[in-house]
Amino acid sequence: MRYSTDTRTICPGDTFVAVQGERHDGHTFIDEAIRKGAHGVVAERPVVAPAHVEVTQVPDSEQFLAGMARKKLLAANPCVIAITGSVGKTSTRNAIATVLRGRFDVLSTTGNLNTVLGISLTLLNGKFDRETKVVLEMGACRPGDIAGLCGYFPPKVAVVTNVCGVHLETFGTIEGVARTKSEIVRALGADGTACLNGDDPRVRAMESLNAGQTVRYGTGAHCDVVPGLITQDIPLLGDHVIYLVLAAFAAGYTQGMPRDEINERLAMMRPEKGRLSRLEGICGCTLIDDSYNASPVAMRTALGVLQRQPADRRIAYLGDMLELGEASLAEHKKVLRDAVGVADIIVVVGKHMAAARASLPDADQRAIVVFASSTEAADALRAGDPVSPGEGDAVLVKGSQGMRMEHVSRVLLHDSIAPESVLCRQTESWRQI
């Protein structure tokens, strides 16, 4: 039985689960789900349905799914490898899955399915048994989120990428971020293993919370998994790549994989959609699409990649970095100052970037063009305003998910390339948002 919470992608025979979300109430789509062939409905309110549709009424639809997923997981008892951190979770998750697939059957979360709902759907709709390696990305927006996820889906291996100042609106301070990320280590038993970024002092400190084994990865002498163990060229952009490679090596090591086999798998890694993906752009330009999401650290990494690109002109389309709380203006100002030193042309999108631009010296302000939204910037780009990239130019596109900077990347992408094959958020359900 397959479960679905989205009538835009539901298939005949699915069970539709009505979830009350921040934007939409799934209960309003129950009739549509039944018309599209749903054979079951899970809802929090009474439902009038045809006789062939099985209706299950529950107090909380999300908790119902999580309970079902937990029951299935505990019954099979596979090795759960869980990843969290401020940035790099998804790329690290995919690197780990790539390594492990060389030897094991792997079930992994995909896209942005790193919440209770997303992980539950992954487990309920996926196939796994005791020998499967289940790789789960775990995201957090507020204190207790990781502990809640681990309560439903207890890990045997926990990987922590880093601790940075993201989601400060809800965490308050970077120490609050660290406490929440450490919940994944606290969830390990004595037979568990924590793979910790030894170069990040806040992550390294989590070792004291671990009841089991610790494997440190990083560039420092105190680390167990270091760059010298990597013998393959890795076809990815950015200085941060070494950390996701080392994390994946550490995860493979915990599962008994030999060094040569891990390295062979690492060489098979490919850029993820929307994450520093180097693509052929319009008019002979090079597009560096990093539109999936953004934080101050990730912005600076992306600008570093742009700076190292051989190019006649370097152009940066930068969208707002969201959920930074009181630090927002200061962090946007820092990023724009860095961008001024890297890019010949800067186009910013959103109110936070606009406010940061207004705080810069007049000369720098004049070099920066502002748009209110990514769709507005994309429309202007189609019209050749403010600049039409040409042959030899390198163009970076980056911003938080809520800014939808993939609209800009879509216009910049060479027309011989199908956008859905290389860009993030190109499904019909995303494009309707």
pLDDT tens-digit series, residues 94-118: 999 999 998 999 999 987 889 999 9
CB 80 within 8 A of CB 155: yes
Rg of the chain (C-alpha set): 22
Q: Is the dihedral of CA 170, 429, 128, 63 positive or negative?
A: positive
Which of 14-28, 90-104, 341-355, 390-404 shows the lowest mean pLDDT across its residues? 14-28
Mapped onto helix, strand or coil, the DSSP state of residue 375 is helix
Which DSSP state fits 346? E
Give residue-wise pLDDT tens across range 112-159: 889 999 999 999 999 999 999 999 999 998 999 999 999 999 999 999
For 67, residues 6+ apart whose C-beta sits below 8 A from its C-beta are: 152
User: Which pLDDT belongs to residue 172?
Assistant: 85
Q: Tokens 């308050």 sit at which residue?
A: 172
Helix (H) or strand (E) holding 409: helix 406-412
Task: With a cut of 80, say whether residue 23 has pLDDT above it.
Answer: no
Q: Which pair of structure tokens corresponds to residue 301?
A: 């990494």
Q: How many residues does the chain have?
A: 433
The alpha helices in 154-313, defined as continuous H runs, are 168-171, 174-181, 183-186, 201-204, 241-254, 259-266, 296-308
Average pLDDT, the chain: 94
Structure tokens at 127: 């196939």
Query: Which is it for strands 54-57 and 193-197: parallel, antiparallel or unpaired?
Result: unpaired
Tens of pLDDT, residue by residue over 248-269, are 999 999 999 999 999 999 999 9
Among candidate residues 317, 378, 308, the one with its CA nearest the CA of residue 353: 317
pLDDT at 165 over 90: no
Please give the structure tokens belonging to residue 317: 């389309």
Q: Which percentage of the chain shows pLDDT scores above 70?
A: 99
Instruction: Tell me what pLDDT residue 113 has.
Output: 87
* Contacting residues for 141 by C-beta, under 8 A, at least 6 apart: 167, 170, 323
- Band (pLDDT 50/70/90 cuts) for residue 330 is very high
What's the rounded Cα separation, in Å, for the pair 374 and 90? 23
Q: How far apart (Å, rounded) are the C-alpha atoms in residues 245 and 264?
A: 12
Overall average pLDDT of the 403-425 stretch: 96
What digits encode the pLDDT tens for the residues 282-301? 999 999 999 999 999 899 99
| Helical H segments across 255-403, by residue range | 259-266, 296-308, 328-342, 351-358, 362-366, 374-382
Stretch (H or E) spanning 287? strand 286-290
Alpha carbon distance 8, 83 (integer Å): 29
| pLDDT at res. 39 | 95
Two tokens, residue 143: 């204190």
> What backbone torsions phi and psi does residue 282 show, to the nearest 5 degrees?
-70, 150
d(CA 328, CA 299): 13
The residue-averaged pLDDT of 17-34 equals: 91
Predicted confidence at residue 240, as pLDDT, reads 87
User: Can you read off the two tokens belonging to residue 320?
Assistant: 């707002």
**Helix 61-76 vs helix 145-152: crossing angle, to nearest 10:** 50
Query: What pLDDT does residue 432 have?
Result: 66
Other CB atoms within 10 Å distance of the CB of residue 136: 24
Residue 323 gets the label, from left (phi > 0), alpha (psi -120 to 50) or beta, of left
pLDDT over 90 at 28, yes or no: yes
DSSP string, 232-273: S-----STTHHHHHHHHHHHHHHTT--HHHHHHHHTT--PPT
